[in-house]
Structure 1
């Protein structure tokens, strides 16, 4: 398999695995941190109506979903790829950041959470995924990172 084809495969795998991690945390979140009584957290309308009743603890699982999804996605891409590893990690981070921006525009959340989420959950986690991926699978000699 060519380096470019492997990089594409790594990017797609990183995105899919990161998305699965994100979705799993979002799905499990309400059982770990229950929403306020009577709050419908399954629709944008329900979230909007319940937003004033949410406490900071209710934002922990969405933040972890975004951060860990990005981290795992970048790590997987870096481990699989043999070239373009740095670019792939940051592309994964950018794609997840774009999703976070869309979500921030659709779902009304407190400004502190939006700022924390957009500034910490994506780019820094892509960087951390790059570092961990390189440690788990060091660069192959002669290949460009």
Structure 2
């Protein structure tokens, strides 16, 4: 089956994700990029792609999920005219036969202008939670410029 492409459509441009590349995604409007989070077993990793070309300027260092029942989240927070990419997960951490595990939210922030194959988060924070309930981390609210450093400087 052949599909007719409208006149003027340049088929040499554009890109798409498929198979293992698909996952949770977020748009970084100031950076002109798309972030995707994909999994391989219990490890997750973020990949940033240029929205126009699909070129990958960076891929995050793999990290383990905190909960087997819920995948980590991905959200973009604008800070000072730039984008801050934030991943979050929630679950139990620690604990053993003698002590109960603690419920936490783990939040990592990445600068959109990073580069490399195993980019570590600029900041990692674990916040205690008394009850996970149905809450989710969102882009609402304030984030300080120092929480999302851009190449070692505040945005």
Normalised by the length of structure 2, the TM-score is 0.26
Task: Name whichever structure is richer in helix by fraction.
Answer: 1
**Which one has more relative contact order, counting CA pairs under 8 Å at least 6 apart?**
1
Rg bigger for which structure?
2
Normalised by the length of structure 1, the TM-score is 0.27
